Structure 1
């Protein structure tokens, strides 16, 4: 009987809360998302590279104080000569500790294609990446993001990718670092091609970083990034395929409509694909737009992730 009375009492309290004005309910605890949000340093590349208003050392501080984000993803270009500089890395770690920052991954560019069909060139690229594996370990990261670039037929580059990623994965495994490939132009933006490579590599610490917006597989000048995109892989199909091997997700945004949605991507649909794949990890904000400022673009992307994430 007491249990029944308590139930009715509690039910009445809930009904009373429901009758409150919407503005009163706005003070309720926000719903916890099924994923964590990180900030990719590339979102601030103009501020760092072009405007020289920030440095890599400032990045984790800005992530916390400006955006309320406690997980970061570095870009090696921002500190390319510091991979073995322990004094510099210790300074960075101190700033992370002081701001309660978790280091998640380092995005590696400019160290050579791990799918080059020339074995000597490919092996040099593998060696170039090893210092970043060690740097990631030192900083407490779990992962490095690499590129599977190479010249040749799809089959030739895939074979080379399996060899290059396999060698780097073998080096990274004993120190507990993941090696993940982003759909980042060329063959890598073909979901079937990249998942085929992953199946052949077949290593626990080698996987993918599905990026919502990088599915251009052919450009007008045949480069990875230079020319206009003339052929694009279905992004929803691609994300679904790559999620089978995902160890992270990159939430790319460019422009927003008047409602705050990404202008060309259905974020609710993309996040549902991610959730349905069983992913409960870290999704990184990577704003690349030109209309909105980097700071405002990051804030808009965070709001979009929170809103769309709560819908699915």
Structure 2
């Protein structure tokens, strides 16, 4: 389809393609629902993998879709709201994102939301404000044809039961809003109690709404960090990552294949990817595995390519 025609189609059709309420990923879920589909998984790219380039302005947010396709051969992308923070309600900017993705043949899968408040805050007023802060991102996700927004079940307390109740309330309120426009609300293990697989699974079970699920991340299972006295923090209490992913997979609507570094054989040095992929397969999940490279030794491009090469070797 010529570029101009495609841009017109995307602009005029963006609202129609998201009417498949509560299905995680439009074209992605065609693969998930079709028993004749050969591949159980597709590979997507999380924008955070390129956070250094985006932060130092050597890459523009609007080039993400094109770069994913041209540099990595990846045709599903996962945004981070940090990189277009003031554009959630900018219809022209979102239309340009649609056009860029359409021109590249790339599917926009989800938006990871940070900085809008914790959905498990114990104070009712603060928690409700956080829920409301997410509404604009639900609408943005709808405009972009995404299936989900990723949120944080965060709150400040040592009381597990109180945080559980607050998370159920906050997620329930937000999901009630999001379900009306066909967008899922998915929670990532992302620090604090959300990195406790059993706790988060219990929250999702109690919310008990089809549009509320999880985004298991292979790497984010630190429950508590401490300062090492030299200005750096390190994890001092970590949940078993394999147990955590297994506990969260029954509710998964997306998966983050977090990576840090690789050995000479191309294997990830911190995470047993073969074991993780086996857990994901065993759960029955079919859909996208999102590359989220977070290492420092390799460049962003090298790290993404190394992660993709490893996943290509492990998945059908």
Shared fold (TM-score greater than 0.5)? yes
Residue 25 of structure 1 corresponds to none
Paired position in structure 2 for 1:118: 123
Q: Please state if 1:308 is matched with 2:314.
A: yes
Displacement of 1:293 in angstroms is 0.2
3-state SS in 2 of match to 1:72: strand
Q: Secondary structure at the match of 2:111?
A: strand
- Asked which structure has the greater RCO (Cα within 8 Å, sep 6+), the reply is 2
Match of 1:55 in 2: 60
Tell me how many residue pairs correspond in the alignment. Answer: 276
Matched, 1:240 2:246: yes
Query: What do residues 247-272 of structure 1 show as CA deviations (whole Å, max 9, x unaligned)?
Result: 01000000111111100111111001
**Aligned equivalents of 1:34, 1:208: Cα separation in 2:** 19
RMSD: 1.4
Give yes or no for the alignment of 1:131 onto 2:131.
no
How far did 1:112 drift?
A: 0.3
TM-score if structure 2 supplies the norm length? 0.86
SS in 2 for 1:262: coil
Match of residue 163 from structure 1:
169
CA distance in 2, matches of 1:85, 1:199: 35
Conservation of the 8 A alpha-carbon contact between 1:285 and 1:298? yes
Residue 10 of structure 1 corresponds to none
Unaligned runs of 5+ in 1: 1-31
Match of 1:70 in 2: 75
Question: In the alignment, which of 99, 107, 112 is matched to residue 107 of structure 1?
Answer: 112
Q: Distance in 2 between matches of 1:187 and 1:46?
A: 27
Q: 2:194 aligns with which of 174, 188, 209?
A: 188
SS of the residue corresponding to residue 44 of structure 2 reads strand
Corresponding residue to 2:220 among 211, 214, 217: 214
Larger Rg: 1
Contact map agreement 1:33 1:306 (CA 8 A) in 2: no
Aligned: 1:257 with 2:263: yes
Q: How far has the Cα of 1:227 moved from its partner?
A: 2.3
Deviation at 1:125, TM superposition (A): 0.3
Moved over 4 A (4+): none
